[in-house]
């Protein structure tokens, strides 16, 4: 899990660094596929089945009001002021690493900047509760509380998840809920915590492509995700990129504070 997660994080980091205004999302997806080959790993998204549908892209790329599971297409060209969620999910030596970050394209408004910051913070609030003998609802509640106290809305149609040999394992980890409820965590469980946050409405609708989820309020939507191991004192965040000694160094780089 550590190896697959480090690769997933390093691929995410490299791909995010390459995103520029004027690129289309098909190019970004193909670059993501190339970086995966450089790392000698396979996309866990491409070929993913949901009912009769098969996911066609290496990565999930969701622009502005696209919440999750966007597909790379030639006619979606990024422009200054957009945001894009880059979700990288790979398989290495039989194990899954899954992580996502929403990044600005050029200059974004201060309100959208706040959305990104609050969503990323809410992920870390949740991670703080992913401890041995705590319950799933403790994580869910921490995420929801942080998001709602900032005036934003958590999406209820999609959830975080257990992870390991398969992308989606038990338990489901909603971004809303009550403390003290739900399944109990145990040291060593591998989970993905992934808040998806809209500015106004928590509701989504499906795009015509059958995969892309759209915010019904039509406003920008953010998504951050880490893969981590539950532990006694502090969860062990596995998805930190090459160039960082440990997850704490990566978090202080991202958030500008020691967490």
Q: Does 226 bind Co ion (CB under 5 A)?
A: no
Order of all β-strands in the sheet with 221-223:
153-154, 196-198, 221-223
Among the residue ranges 42-50, 52-60, 92-100, 213-221, the one whose residues contact Co ion (CB under 5 A)? 92-100
Q: Is 61 helix (H, G, I), strand (E, B) or coil?
A: strand
The tokens describing 164, both together, are 């390991």
> Which ranges constitute the DSSP H helices of 129-246?
136-149
Which partner, ligand MF3, Co ion, none, binds residue 45 by CB below 5 to 8 Å per kind? ligand MF3
CB closer to Co ion, 98 vs 120? 98
The tokens describing 175, both together, are 């971004």
Figure out which of the listed residues 69, 76, 91, 129 binds ligand MF3, where binding follows CB under 6 A: 69
Can you point out the beta strands (E) in 46-82? 49-50, 53-54, 60-63, 66-68
Which partner, ligand MF3, Co ion, none, binds residue 48 by CB below 5 to 8 Å per kind? ligand MF3
The tokens describing 188, both together, are 């060593």
The tokens describing 21, both together, are 């205004």
Q: Does 192 bind Co ion (CB under 5 A)?
A: yes
Q: Does 87 bind ligand MF3 (CB under 6 A)?
A: yes
Figure out which of the listed residues 55, 185, 240, 244 binds ligand MF3, where binding follows CB under 6 A: 55
CB closer to ligand MF3, 45 vs 118? 45
Among the residue ranges 122-130, 131-139, 148-156, 191-199, the one whose residues contact Co ion (CB under 5 A)? 191-199
CB closer to ligand MF3, 89 vs 191? 89
Residues 6+ apart with CB under 8 A from 89: 8, 43, 44, 45, 59, 60, 96, 97, 98, 99, 167
CB atoms within 10 A of CB 45: 23
Q: Does 240 bind ligand MF3 (CB under 6 A)?
A: no
The tokens describing 167, both together, are 């992308």
Q: Let me know: does 197 contact 223? Beta carbons within 8 Å.
A: yes
What string marks each residue from 191 to 210 as x (binds ligand MF3 by CB under 6 A) or -? Answer: -x------------------
Q: Does 66 bind Co ion (CB under 5 A)?
A: no
Figure out which of the listed residues 13, 65, 92, 98 binds ligand MF3, where binding follows CB under 6 A: 98
Q: Does 89 bind ligand MF3 (CB under 6 A)?
A: yes
Sign of CA dihedral 71, 72, 76, 79: positive
Q: Which residues bind Co ion (CB under 5 A)?
A: 98, 192
Q: Which residues bind ligand MF3 (CB under 6 A)?
A: 45, 48, 55, 60, 69, 87, 89, 98, 100, 192, 225
């Amino acid at each position: 899990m550590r190896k697959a997660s480090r690769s997933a994080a390093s691929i995410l980091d490299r791909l995010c660094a390459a995103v520029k205004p004027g690129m289309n999302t098909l190019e970004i997806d193909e670059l993501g596929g190339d970086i995966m080959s450089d790392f000698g790993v396979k996309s866990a998204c491409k070929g993913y089945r949901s009912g009769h549908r098969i996911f066609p892209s290496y990565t999930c790329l969701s622009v502005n009001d696209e919440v999750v599971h966007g597909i790379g297409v030639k006619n979606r060209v990024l422009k200054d002021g957009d945001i894009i969620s880059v979700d990288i999910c790979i398989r290495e030596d039989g194990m899954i690493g899954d992580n996502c970050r929403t990044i600005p394209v050029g200059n974004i408004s201060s309100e959208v900047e706040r959305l990104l910051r609050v969503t990323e913070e809410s992920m870390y609030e949740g991670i703080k509760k992913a401890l041995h003998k705590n319950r799933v609802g403790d994580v869910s509640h921490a995420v929801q509380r942080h998001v709602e106290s900032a005036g934003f809305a958590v999406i209820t149609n999609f959830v975080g998840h257990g992870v390991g040999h398969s992308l989606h394992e038990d338990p489901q980890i909603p971004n809303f809920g009550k403390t003290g409820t739900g399944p109990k965590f145990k040291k060593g469980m591998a989970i993905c915590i992934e808040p998806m946050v809209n500015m106004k409405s928590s509701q989504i609708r499906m795009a015509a492509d059958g995969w892309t989820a759209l915010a019904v309020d039509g406003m920008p939507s953010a998504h951050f995700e880490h893969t981590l191991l539950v532990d006694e004192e502090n969860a062990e965040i596995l998805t930190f990129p090459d160039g960082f000694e440990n997850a704490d160094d990566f978090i202080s780089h991202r958030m500008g504070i020691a967490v």
